[in-house]
């Protein structure tokens, strides 16, 4: 049902006040097609809202805000070593990870406790603790606003890269709405344990030979300890991407700061730790009114109570300017900023 002038405060994990001019929830491509045929909301493109955990609203949204709520899950092609599984875009991501482990699949355990929905996962190419979701995406089914029909895009067409997919391109961002994601999940596979801190956490748990469930538990422990809970203080998780720079830029930084975290990012490129850069600028715990940088993790912006989205964006811009002035490196926001 199409509703008018709806508060979005409870639908974004920053907990900022904002209002949608129009709001609707749909559970099928047919419902979506019917909704978008309504002249009141046909243009401009709707803002598709998942869990509201990768979003900063700095103002009211003068268009349709849409939630695709279908959360079905079914095995569509069982195999000997892996299964093809279709999941509705509205399913909670962490619930899907937990389901996969409970049903004997491996691979998603490093991605535990990432907030949001399955539909958002391929758009952002979510990743954590050394694993990115593109490794398991077989195909993404979308509703094409221009053609008014669904289309199935295979993995290679999605153009995955670090926190990137073709669905974030300017020409495609408003055209496609994710309705289903198909995952190829293995029954067995090598665990990914090399991300800093993960083996140490498993050792602290007294586990010498971990299984997938142990990795899941370790990741949950790490995330709960390191990242503030949005239920207790408004935040959207990591606000800045780890910057990818040329080898020359990385070498210049490491010459003065040998301990700076850095990782291979392909030929001639290195990925730097955004949290380290922010921390080195003395911004961990920075506060401007009720908007600030978490004292728990330098990558996380937080709403201490009554911050507006504009207040949080002002803090984000301050962090960017400070890191640029100190290191000559630009930080790019990870969430969508309206």
Told to judge if 163 belongs to the known catalytic residues of this protein, a careful annotator would answer yes
CB 167 within 8 A of CB 174: no
**Nearest-5° Cα angle at 10, 9 to 13:** 90
CB 312 within 8 A of CB 33: no
Told to judge if 82 belongs to the known catalytic residues of this protein, a careful annotator would answer no
What is d(CA 324, CA 331) in angstroms, rounded to the nearest whole number? 8
| Residue 187: closest CA among 91, 111, 101 | 101
Cross-strand pairs, 64? 22
Q: Is 110 helix (H, G, I), strand (E, B) or coil?
A: helix
Told to judge if 148 belongs to the known catalytic residues of this protein, a careful annotator would answer no
Chain mean position to CA 58 = 19
User: For residue 192, what are the CA distances in angstroms to 125, 189, 214, 252, 265?
Assistant: 17, 9, 12, 30, 17
Could you say which of 53, 82, 100, 238 is catalytic? 238
Cross-strand pairs, 144? 149, 176
User: For residue 59, what are the CA distances in angstroms to 114, 223, 319?
Assistant: 26, 30, 21
Chain mean position to CA 176 = 18
Could you say which of 109, 132, 141, 334 is catalytic? 334
Does the CA dihedral 299-91-47-180 come out positive or negative? positive
Residue 185 has phi, psi (to 5 degrees) of -110, 130
Could you say which of 67, 145, 163, 270 is catalytic? 163
Task: Supply the residues annotated as catalytic.
Answer: 163, 238, 334
């Amino acid at each position: 049902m199409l509703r008018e002038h709806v508060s979005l405060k409870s639908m974004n994990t920053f907990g900022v006040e904002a209002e949608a001019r129009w709001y609707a929830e749909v559970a099928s491509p047919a419902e979506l097609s019917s909704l978008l045929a309504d002249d009141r909301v046909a243009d401009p493109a709707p803002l598709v809202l998942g869990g509201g955990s990768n979003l900063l609203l700095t103002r009211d949204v003068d268009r349709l805000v849409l939630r695709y709520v279908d959360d079905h899950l079914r095995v569509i092609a069982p195999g000997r070593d892996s299964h093809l599984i279709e999941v509705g875009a509205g399913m909670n991501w962490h619930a899907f990870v937990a389901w996969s482990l409970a049903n004997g699949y491996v691979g998603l355990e490093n991605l535990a406790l990432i907030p949001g929905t399955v539909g958002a996962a391929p758009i952002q190419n979510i990743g954590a603790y050394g694993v990115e979701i593109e490794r398991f995406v077989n195909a993404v089914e979308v509703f094409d606003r221009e053609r008014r029909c669904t289309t199935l895009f295979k993995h290679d067409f999605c153009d995955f890269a670090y926190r990137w997919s073709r669905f974030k391109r300017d020409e495609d961002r408003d055209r496609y709405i994710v309705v289903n994601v198909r995952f190829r999940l293995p029954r067995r596979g090598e665990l990914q344990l090399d991300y800093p801190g993960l083996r140490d956490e498993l050792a602290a748990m007294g586990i010498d030979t971990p299984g997938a469930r142990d990795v899941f538990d370790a990741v949950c422990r790490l995330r709960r300890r390191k990242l503030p809970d949005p239920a207790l203080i408004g935040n959207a998780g990591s606000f800045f991407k780890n910057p990818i720079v040329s080898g020359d830029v990385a070498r210049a930084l490491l010459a003065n700061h040998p301990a700076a975290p850095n990782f291979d990012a392909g030929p001639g490129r290195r990925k730097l730790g955004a949290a380290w850069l922010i921390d080195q600028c003395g911004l961990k715990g920075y506060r401007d009114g009720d908007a600030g940088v978490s004292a728990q993790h330098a990558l996380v912006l937080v709403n201490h109570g009554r911050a507006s989205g504009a207040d949080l964006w002002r803090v984000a811009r301050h962090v960017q300017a400070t890191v640029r002035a100190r290191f000559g490196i630009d930080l790019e926001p990870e969430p969508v900023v309206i």
